[in-house]
Structure 1
Amino acid sequence: MVSTAIRRAAAKKLRANTTPHERTLWRALKELPMEGSHFRRQTPIGPYVVDFLCPAKRLIIELDGEHHNEDAIAKRDSERQVWLDQEGYRVIRFWNSDVAGDLNAVMERIYLEVYGSRDAETFPLKHRRRG
């Protein structure tokens, strides 16, 4: 297993070198009404670094480029998905083209994942650390 310091350094490097699609989604996520919680970007979780995390909802958002269609990367994504599911996280994935082509639809899906309904009113979210 990779040490915590190495994973944190990798996450910091990823935050410094975001893709245009990640920057676009990050700006949009910061506009979501999420009193009491927030999204984090490039966050280490176990042996992985996830693109975006809402700790209060244990929700992970992953952005995938074309290279995620390659067999080896798709296999790694699948293994990662299984591990994150076992740890109690929900993972939703979007293609970079989704963010570029219809950001409103992406944000609506994220809102549904956070609040359960398009018409739901926002409510304070509490982040509880796991022991």
Structure 2
Amino acid sequence: MNIERARQLRRDATGPEREMWRLLYPLRQIHNFRRQVPLGPYFLDFACHSLKLAIEIDGDTHGSEQAMYYDAARTRFIETQGYRVLRFTNDDVLNNAEGVFDTLARAIEETAP
């Protein structure tokens, strides 16, 4: 069931998720980033298991109090699994690709063995 859901999420990727996948392309040549990775009860938007790095893309719905509470609980769970979580907004990905890429590169540099 998780595999089917992950496939559906990859097929139905949002514009910002498709753009992030494009931004990750040069990094994917070195590190094995994957999309819509099942982890416990969640699906990580993007993850690299070897770096223990999770990337989450937050849309407009993430600004409500309820969504922020959910995101905080989700982040805590992901971190208990040993992952570092990077969060970017849709706007960041679509309008500040260079800044997003620089943040990712720094995180990888800090995390890589």
Identify whether the pair has TM-score above 0.5, normalized to the shorter chain. yes
Counterpart of 2:76? 82
Q: Does 1:10 align with 2:30?
A: no
Higher relative contact order (CA 8 A, sep 6+): 1
Q: Which amino acid counterpart does residue 12 of structure 1 have in structure 2?
A: R
1:114 aligns with 2:103: no
Q: Which amino acid aligns with 2:93?
A: V
1:32 aligns with 2:20: no
Contiguous gaps of at least 5 residues in structure 2: none
Counterpart of 2:37 in structure 1: which amino acid?
Answer: T
Code of the aligned partner of 1:75: Y
Q: CA deviation at 1:34?
A: 4.5
**CA–CA separation in structure 2 for the residues paired with 1:83 and 1:26:** 24
Distance of 2:56 and 2:14 partners within structure 1:
12
CA contact (8 A) 1:7 1:47 kept: no
Offset at residue 48 of structure 1 (A): 0.6
Q: Is 1:63 aligned to residue 32 of structure 2?
A: no
Q: Are 2:88 and 1:104 equivalent residues in the alignment?
A: no
- For the residues of structure 2 that align with 1:32 and 1:88, how far apart are their CA atoms? 21
Distance 1:66 1:7 in 2: 25
Q: Distance in 2 between matches of 1:68 and 1:112?
A: 25
Unaligned 5+ runs, structure 1: 1-5, 117-124, 127-131
Identify the residue that residue 129 of structure 1 maps to in structure 2.
none
Structure 1 residue 112 displacement after superposition:
0.4
Q: Which has the larger radius of gyration?
A: 1
What's the counterpart of residue 21 of structure 1?
16
Evaluate the alpha carbon distance shift between residue 98 and residue 44 of structure 1 in structure 2; reply closer, same or farther with a 3 A threshold: same
How many residues matched?
Answer: 113
